[in-house]
Structure 1
Amino acid sequence: MIIEDDIIEPIRIRFSKLAWILDERMRRLFAAAEASALGRGGITKVAQATGVSRRAIHVGLRELSDLKEPVKNPPKRIRKEGAGRKSVIQTDVGLMSALEKLVEPMTRGDPESPLRWTCKSLRTLAGELSANGHPVSYPVVGDLLRELGYSLQANRKVLEGSDHPDRNAQFEFINEQTTQQLMAGNPVISVDTKKKELVGAYKNNGTTWCPEGKPEQVKVHDFVDKELGRANPYGVYDVGSNTGWVSVGTDHDTASFTVETIRRWWRTMGRQSYPAASELMITADGGGSNGSRVRLWKMELQRLADEIRIPIHVSHLPPGTSKWNKIEHRLFSYISMNWRGRPLISHEVIINLIAGTTTRKGLKVHAELDDSLYPAGIKVSDDEFKQIHLTRNMFHGEWNYRIDPRPIVG
């Protein structure tokens, strides 16, 4: 006596070994062949063993009976022409246009659309379409959006604002001045403030290697620690020697702080590297604590020029071009890469990570803490400003100027 399980189990095993390579048509033909071999009751047994429906097995039996001789070139199509469920855009002609109106309400539809100020998720779009008489599931909405040429994309920073008509000319001027100063053996430095950082066990973007399953734990919320506060890194990049200096401030980011950083760089690195310097050239952004309109910036530079006894030439980058400042992509970007994924738990850690930044081209960075107080809101009066030995260049004097040391009295 043959037990039913003894019939079904071998079929199940044979089918499971071939299932990964069988398409829809071959699945039903395999099942039909097994059912035909079993005879009466074979369709039921094969359906139980393979999971192929009885209806599909009947279709396969008809296909096998129609084959009078082996097929040399089997058809590539699995189903008959026109078989299968109709596309949703065929059953609902207005669906695509309704979807386009929702995703682009300002250009293709009503600007007062309810989704004008709503996050256009697939579920939200599907719900809005269904409410407007176009019942559709959210996965289908995703397929339709891809057919329309849409994809998930983030914002991209490419707009720099309106271009100044002399933007390119200013870059050419800076390049010419830089070349001349370097050929004369004078230092050329690029200065700027790096993004302020929270000090403490806070999340820092990026990843770093850690034992598997043991990421460094940080605080959930980024509330400022009243004791540690923020770190204000201000950098000096020496274009000629490919070296950097970063002062990590603990107080306000003011012009006094920025010039003090330049002063420290000069005393520690600049004077030794350029003992015969006849001028110092500084390139800086047009805004911030070292902005072209900041009076205190010029006043502090005057004090620095009086100390080092050489003129200081300053050239500001045109408006909206701060990302082209050399310090951004030759120093700050490498610092960010060096400390990615590392919580900046203390000022000491920040200084060590900055000082440990190197590149294959030999970048070396010195960093130190500046915990001096730099009060904000200091004003420079007209009389004080007149005491500055400021000479503006004929070409955009608001961007290009020289500050000469004042005569030594007595």
Structure 2
Amino acid sequence: MFRPLRPYQAAVDAALAVLFALVSLPYELNSATGPSLIGGWSAIPVVFLMSIALGLRRYSPGLALAVAWIGAITQMGFGRGPGFSDIAIFAVLYATAAYGSRLVFWLGLSSVVVGSGTITIYLFRWAFLGSGSLSDVPTLIFVLLAALFALGLSWTAGALVRTALRARATRVAQTRAEAETAAEQERTRIARDMHDIVAHSLAVIIAQSDGARYAAASDPQAQSEALGTISATARAALSDVRLLLTQMRHSQAEGPQPTLADLEQLYAQVRAAGTPLRVDVDPAPRAEIPASVQLAVYRILQEALTNALRHGGPGGVDVSLSWHADRVDFSVRNDLPPDPSSEKRAPGHGLIGMRERAQLIGGRVDAAPAGSSFLVSGSLPIGAPAA
């Protein structure tokens, strides 16, 4: 029933109501229209009620409409004719259409019709009682149409404003929803990148740590190399994590993303972990590859190689890339552990992330055991992302 108003809006409406009463009262007191029962002093309650209705029109359109009807009935009860204070009725009808609830909206429209008829009947009440002439009928019709037009115009203007306000609210809600969706997608992307970086780096570090522990006594040089690889991998991971955290703080600025040129460094990290790696690129890319495809290829291979380091057997890893004109086909194959029961592979975030990355650009990724090996394969389109 009551709408929330800002303090300055409530102050403006209250001041307007007081000013309207101060301006209307002198006009109404000096008005001689209509056979008033108690003279000009009958204007005081009418002006008071209409001013209250004007002040309440935005805070409570329904209540303002009710007070305006009480003021109009009081005016007719005192036998007063139309006056300056009746201007408040137009503002109230506007407010019922612009700010009122659905019920108040239709009550305002009903008031337009009922009020027009009431005004016409009140002004031509003697003609309706049979004391007038038939020549008054055209004037009566004219007054009815004029009242309908004037009151209806105020209500229609409010209805148009109501439509505009709802359209603006819809646009704001849509913009907010799009912003929330974009933020959620960004959080998902950062979480996926964080998983790729941390999982791959930790897999390399764990492999190197195990190798260094076994070589500590027999091969100090190998231990030193392993520690160097651990240090380099940890520094690279720290740099990538800092970049992602920067993107989280400043989401407007996109940081540099991995490209095909960074694959060699990725391969070097896998080989440094002691895992044999064989890479076959045939055919090679012949044109500029979109950045989205380069990033997807890098992250998918990074995750697949990380899984091979963590879960693969001693036979090494085979990577194959085939760059065609419209797509790139890829596969990563690694041996399964000698004892499959000791290394159960459950679908985790990594496999889900690979599939999500491929789906974002219209591609696919399949990951499943293939005989004594585990195979990650798929295809990504080269061109505009799928709609």
Shorter chain as normaliser: what TM range? under 0.3
Counting helix residues as a fraction of each chain, which structure ranks higher? 2
**TM-score, scaled to structure 1:** 0.23
**TM-score, scaled to structure 2:** 0.24
Whose relative contact order is higher, 1 or 2, with alpha carbons under 8 Å and at least 6 apart? 1
